[in-house]
């Protein structure tokens, strides 16, 4: 058993000692240990804000989807007052699952076991045969509703937490919110989902994907080299394949909460997708020629309405494109080619939902701005399916590594090995950089992933 006072495993090893702060090494044991996993469910998935859905998945009253907060299944539903609720999918009578389908529309959720019924806001309607008072007389009906999580919407995304006394979502984002706003809160209509999320179960520990999403860019040179060789990503020339690997030189940002984004210089993007020199163009001219992924020419004026001048300038000079929200969300707003060769962009978010120390469910949502034409949405959906997620050429590479890392951590010798985060660029904010957080300018190294592990350690040890 784990003790909450000093967080010691049954063999006497302290959780704190599994992350060597001085040498910046992380024990492989963290990728497979059952006791560690049980503590993660409590201290990470029970305390932090978790991404569950987008409000456009449940547009009408009674709409719902079933998702997971750690290993707690929840119902994400819209009630008659148009509020979004996150409800524990456990009947308070006997602990049966209340909602038996993954999604749909229902004016109430009725447990198949003894018939207890609940409204979309979680309130208890009653049990069969009202005159017999089958719910008893000890607790009132107001006390017998489904347990509700704390909910907050941001850019249409539905976040929830069990931590009633914890930070607000804005506080949880910290200085990273300046950058997330540029991706998620930039038009009048906002984003909408392009169909239901892709879902697949991976035979891997959730942290293998979580820490990679903390802006690990170094793997581009090797894991994605075949994509560069065929010209899909970066340069296809062997002479400059390393120099032009997407984003190897740029600005990585992160914060104490563990979130991060990789800001890739516009010069790199233009040379990759346009083959042009933009050194003499103003920020406004750059945005007109190559708008941010997912933004059409017609939507450009809305950027100025929703974003500050500093955010607009950053979008033009070095836009954030990939990264993650701690603990288990991947962010991808990338310039991606469509079938006709035009770069329509691919907008995606991932969630890595734990299903045990050696499994997680891999979600991929694809998005477009709500006010873009249908043909643009179709093109973006095609580009997203082709490039990212379980069907994507890019992330088929990524997901190949995670099961191997997890499998290697189970061996008697393997679990004693460490992962190294010793190549750090160090904070190096460019002159005039408008955003906050920890800023690392130059060749991408281990800085942001190490910050992810430090955020993890703080939650697991405190």
Q: Map tokens 């990679």 to a residue.
A: 212
Quick check: do 50-162 and 174-461 share a fold?
A: no
pLDDT at residue number 3: 43
Cβ-contact 348, 365 below 8 angstroms: yes
Could you please state the CATH topology (level 3) that the domain comprising 174-461 is classified under: Naphthalene 1,2-dioxygenase Alpha Subunit; Chain A, domain 1 (3.90.380)
- Per-residue pLDDT of 190-233, as tens digits, reads 999 999 999 999 999 999 999 999 998 777 777 767 766 666 65
Q: What percent of the chain has pLDDT over 70?
A: 90
Q: Whole-angstrom Cα distance, residue 131 to residue 336?
A: 62
Span 83-90, mean pLDDT? 98
- Per-residue pLDDT of 348-371, as tens digits, reads 999 999 999 999 999 999 999 999
User: How far are the Cα atoms of 190, 225, 384, 431 from residue 338, in angstroms, in the given order?
Assistant: 22, 21, 9, 36
Whether the per-residue pLDDT at 246 is higher than 70: the answer is no
* Confidence grade of residue 397 (pLDDT, cut at 50, 70, 90): confident
Q: Is 305 exposed, middle or buried (0-12, 13-18, 19+ CB in 10 A)?
A: exposed
* Confidence grade of residue 26 (pLDDT, cut at 50, 70, 90): very high
pLDDT at residue number 455: 98
pLDDT at residue number 384: 92
Return the domain boundaries, the chain. Answer: 50-162, 174-461
- Architecture per CATH, 50-162: 3-layer Sandwich (2.102)
- Per-residue pLDDT of 285-302, as tens digits, reads 888 888 888 899 899 999
Q: Whole-angstrom Cα distance, residue 40 to residue 456?
A: 9
Q: How far apart are the first and last CA of the chain?
A: 17
Radius of gyration of the chain (CA): 23
- Per-residue pLDDT of 407-437, as tens digits, reads 999 999 999 999 999 999 999 999 999 999 9
pLDDT at residue number 1: 38
CA angle (174, 170, 254) in 5-degree steps:
25
Q: pLDDT: is 304 or 240 the higher one?
A: 304
What contacts 317, CB < 8 A, 6 or more positions away?
265, 266, 283, 286
Span 14-37, mean pLDDT? 97
């Amino acid at each position: 058993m784990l003790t909450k006072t000093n967080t010691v495993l049954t063999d006497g090893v302290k959780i704190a000692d599994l992350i060597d702060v001085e040498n910046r090494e992380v024990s492989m044991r963290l990728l497979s240990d059952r006791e560690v996993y049980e503590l993660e469910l409590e201290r990470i998935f029970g305390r932090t804000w978790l991404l569950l859905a987008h409000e456009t998945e449940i547009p009408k009253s009674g709409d719902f989807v079933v998702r997971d907060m750690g290993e707690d299944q929840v119902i994400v539903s819209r009630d008659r007052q148009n509020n979004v609720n996150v409800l524990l999918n456990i009947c308070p009578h006997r602990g049966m699952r209340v909602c038996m389908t993954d999604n749909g529309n229902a004016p109430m959720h009725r447990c198949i076991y003894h018939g207890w019924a609940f409204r979309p806001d979680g309130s208890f309607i009653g049990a069969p045969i009202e005159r017999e008072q089958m719910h008893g007389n000890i607790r009132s009906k107001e006390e017998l509703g489904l347990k509700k999580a704390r909910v907050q919407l941001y850019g249409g995304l539905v976040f929830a937490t069990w931590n009633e006394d914890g930070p607000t979502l804005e506080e949880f984002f910290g200085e990273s919110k300046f950058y997330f706003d540029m991706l998620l809160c930039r038009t009048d209509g906002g984003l909408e989902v392009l169909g239901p999320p892709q879902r697949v179960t991976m035979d891997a520990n959730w942290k293998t994907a979580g820490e990679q999403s903390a802006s690990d860019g170094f793997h581009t040179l090797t894991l994605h080299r075949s994509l560069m060789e065929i010209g899909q990503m970066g340069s296809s020339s062997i002479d400059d394949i390393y120099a032009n690997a997407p984003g190897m030189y740029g600005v990585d940002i992160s914060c104490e909460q563990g979130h991060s984004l990789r800001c890739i210089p516009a010069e790199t993007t233009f040379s990759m997708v346009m083959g042009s020199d933009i050194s003499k163009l103003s920020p406004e001219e750059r945005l007109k020629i190559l708008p941010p992924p997912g933004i059409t020419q017609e939507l450009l004026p809305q950027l100025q309405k929703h974003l500050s001048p500093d955010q607009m300038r950053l979008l033009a000079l070095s836009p954030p494109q990939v990264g993650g929200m701690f603990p288990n969300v991947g962010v991808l707003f990338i310039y991606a080619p469509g079938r006709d060769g035009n770069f329509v962009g691919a907008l995606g978010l991932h969630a890595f939902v734990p299903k045990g120390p050696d499994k997680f469910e891999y979600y991929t949502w694809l998005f477009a701005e709500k006010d873009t034409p249908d043909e643009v949405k179709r093109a973006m959906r095609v580009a997203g399916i082709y490039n990212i997620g379980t069907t994507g050429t890019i992330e088929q590479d990524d997901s190949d590594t995670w099961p191997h890392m997890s499998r290697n951590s189970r061996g008697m010798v393997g679990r004693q090995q460490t992962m190294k985060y010793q190549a750090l660029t160090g904070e190096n904010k460019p002159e005039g950089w408008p955003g906050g957080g920890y800023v690392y300018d130059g060749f991408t190294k281990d800085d942001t992933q190490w910050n992810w592990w430090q955020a993890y350690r703080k939650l697991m040890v405190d």
